[in-house]
Amino acid sequence: MRFTKMQGAGNDYVYVNCFDEPIPGDPAALARQMADRHFGVGGDGLILICPSEVADARMWMFNADGSEGEMCGNGIRCVAKYVYDHGICAKPALKIETGCGVLALELHVIDGLVEQVTVDMGEPILLAADVPTTLPGDPRRDGAAIDVPLSVGGQSLRVTCVSMGNPHCVTFVEELSDRWALEIGPRIEADSHFPNRVNAEFVEVLGRGEVRQRTWERGSGETLACGTGAAAVCVAGVLTDRTDRKIIVHLPGGDLTQHWREEDNHVYMTGPAVEVFSGQWA
């Protein structure tokens, strides 16, 4: 089986072109094997690029632990690059089917290859029960869980919960550190207030238009970037009046631009997509 390793701002996945290759019989087990950084290819998970009846292609993603993910902002940019660069559908604007619906993408092409992609991430889901979380939503703010208290591991936090097709719990901190990402992050992921588990974002605000972010991803651990997480951070920053609607998010693997537009209530993400290497999985 042929595979391709790709990354968006350091968020790396193994990709399989299922237009040419058969869909694996047990993709969850395959994800665990291929994503292993010591005994496999290595990555944050496995993404299958499949035919779609409603879009130009379908993204079917699995985290490193084999759990299925609804959406990956960095992953979908790489899917778009692969679809364009490898001639599956060479259009400057694509539609990709995901676990949370069909998303529109605008490709930024240089010398015949995609270098950056802008993704319409859609409207953020804020109603607490739909994120989902059992943390209390504010009836004055349409039931959203904004800057609400959460206690984990003896640490009292103020968190904002946002779904961008997958659930996020955003915590603004004075200074980022390993303790936040590596100790508090996994505790938040498994906290009982999140019935489907959750991605945990920790954010240091540098200014109204600029933040630093680290993410503990549900099913993958800390990753160098999280696109849906960066979109959720943009929304949380506006809701708590910490940031403007358009921000640059500095992640360990690179920068992403997020814009929560007032005119349509959608979040638009722009960032890189890079093909690293291809190989044969025996």
Residues classed as catalytic? 72, 226
Q: What is the spatial distance between Cα 31 and Cα 115, in angstroms, rounded to a whole number?
A: 26
Q: What is the spatial distance between Cα 161 and Cα 251, in angstroms, rounded to a whole number?
A: 20
What are the tokens at 137? 């939503």
Q: What is the spatial distance between Cα 197 and Cα 61, in angstroms, rounded to a whole number?
A: 17
Q: Is 263 helix (H, G, I), strand (E, B) or coil?
A: coil
DSSP 188-208: HHT-TT-TT--EEEEEEEEET
| Residue 50: burial class (beta carbons within 10 Å; 0-12, 13-18, 19+) | middle
Contact 235/169 with Cβ under 8 angstroms? Answer: no
Nearest to 119 by CA among 155, 93, 138, 142: 93
Instruction: Indicate the angle between helix axes 227-239 and 73-85, nearest 10 degrees.
Output: 130
Q: What is the spatial distance between Cα 155 and Cα 90, in angstroms, rounded to a whole number?
A: 50
Q: What is the spatial distance between Cα 262 and Cα 186, in angstroms, rounded to a whole number?
A: 33
Kindly give the residue spans of alpha helices, DSSP state H, lying in the chain: 27-35, 73-85, 178, 185-189, 227-239
